[in-house]
Amino acid sequence: MERVIVHVDMDYFYAAIEEREDPSLKGKAIVVCMYSNRGEEGGAVSTCNYTARDMGIHSAMPCRQARSIYPDAVFLPVRKDFYKEVSDDIMKLLQSNADTDEAFEQISIDEAFLEITESSSGNFKHSFEIANTIKEEVKRNAGITCSVGIGPNKLIAKMASSFQKPDGITVIEPEKVQEFLSPMPVKKLWGIGRVTEEKLSEMGIESIGELAKLDVLKLVEAFGKNRGTLLKRLASGTDESPVKEKTSSDQIGRMASLKHDSRDEKMVFELMDELVEDVIAKATSRNVAFRSITATVIYSNFKTETKSRTLNHAVYDKEILRKNAMDTMQHFLDNSRLNFRRIGIRVGNLQERTGQKSLFDF
């Protein structure tokens, strides 16, 4: 089955949040600045919306220069702690759409990879539907837009997400990878910086297609073995790196597909039993208890619904997890006529198991 990787990138994230918080800013040029100790006279542009970009303002530009370009823009100080709170909620939403909690990789405050090979059955047409659902969920829950790229690996997904910004979806199927990459200038290739771009230009290489055709020995001679072979692989659209969390998670979860789309309670609850067993086994191996329980269902139309419960005490008991998971699944069954495609369960607010209570302690 062909891998299906999704890259989700929030559109002008900080400025979009400011627009959401103050609707009167809509349509105005918004510049979010990281001010220095010199106040508003110092510092650099952290991000700006597309209206400001159209005026010639861009990230990393000195704030003073941005003001001189367009003094009528709205200049705001960065609120990183607040943006992080919004990001955390969005990332949990994105993670719930991945094949498993582990098949998710946040790479910055406003972008992440997730693998949906299993949930899309390796079908890129289905992946578009999933991506559209993700976009709708982000807009409904966070009030901002995102752009989505889908490809057979992380490299292509990452590059595709920038192709139709803002608020777009770009799907690159495996057989279309070279057609997608070849015309692009080499600076668009993920992982190529200015120094590499300039050196390739000196070699007469301007496009990714030209780089892909270049003899790898010439690249090794110019850049060394590791860098040269990497450039060749990237230009060919090859990337075998896994989608995987870089840090230990404060959540433990599992998702799985039903044998076929169904509302059959026996099938749903039997699969949920298996997921509960897996989650408890992982919690036991990490010697942790949990306070929050979240159940997720992905319906046959790829719509995702999530419901969480927070317990009064941290516990590590399978029966407590099972009861809450089953109650939530019953709620989903009672409140929707759609068939279930995938279901999942995860626990959060993890704590080391030192004195926490099990069912038998109550």
Q: Is residue 246 part of a domain?
A: no
Q: Report how many domains make up the chain.
A: 4
Residues 206, 146, single domain; the answer is no
Q: Is residue 230 part of a domain?
A: yes
Residues 221, 316, single domain; the answer is no
Residues 9, 143, single domain; the answer is yes
Task: Find the CATH number of the domain harbouring 94.
Answer: 3.30.70.270
My answer on whether omega of the bond before 62 falls inside 30° of 0, hence cis, is: no
Burial class (CB in 10 A: 0-12, 13-18, 19+), 246: exposed
Residues 9, 127, single domain; the answer is yes
Asked if residue 66 lies in contact with residue 49, where contact means CB atoms within 8 angstroms, the answer is: no
pTM of this structure: 0.72
Task: Find the CATH number of the domain harbouring 21.
Answer: 3.40.1170.60
Asked if residue 267 lies in contact with residue 57, where contact means CB atoms within 8 angstroms, the answer is: no
To the nearest 5 percent, what fractions of the chain are helix, strand and coil? 40, 25, 30
Task: Find the CATH number of the domain harbouring 198.
Answer: 1.10.150.20
Q: Is residue 242 part of a domain?
A: no
Asked if residue 290 lies in contact with residue 348, where contact means CB atoms within 8 angstroms, the answer is: yes
Report phi then psi at 285, rounded to 5.
Answer: -65, -30
User: Which residues in the chain show pLDDT less than 50?
Assistant: 248, 355-362
Tell me the per-residue pLDDT of 330-355, one tens digit each, with 9 for 90 and over: 999 999 899 998 899 999 888 887 54
The SS3 of residue 177 is helix
Provide the token pair at 198: 């300039």
Residues 9, 147, single domain; the answer is yes
Residues 158, 294, single domain; the answer is no
Instruction: Write out the catalytic residue numbers.
Output: 111
Q: Is residue 245 part of a domain?
A: no
Report phi then psi at 202, rounded to 5.
Answer: -65, -25
Residues 9, 141, single domain; the answer is yes
Predicted pLDDT at 306: 87
Tell me the per-residue pLDDT of 127-136, one tens digit each, with 9 for 90 and over: 999 999 999 9
Domain end position, chosen among 37, 57, 81: 81
Cα–Cα dist 288/79, whole Å: 33
Q: Is residue 240 part of a domain?
A: no
Provide the token pair at 301: 């139309």
Residues 281, 151, single domain; the answer is no
Residues 43, 129, single domain; the answer is no
Residues 9, 130, single domain; the answer is yes
Asked if residue 37 lies in contact with residue 180, where contact means CB atoms within 8 angstroms, the answer is: no
Q: Is residue 241 part of a domain?
A: no
Containing structural domain, residue 47: 15-81
Predicted pLDDT at 194: 85
Task: Find the CATH number of the domain harbouring 317.
Answer: 3.30.1490.100
Predicted pLDDT at 246: 61
Predicted pLDDT at 116: 95
Predicted pLDDT at 356: 43
Residues 146, 88, single domain; the answer is yes
The structure tokens 């509960």 sit at 276
Residues 9, 129, single domain; the answer is yes
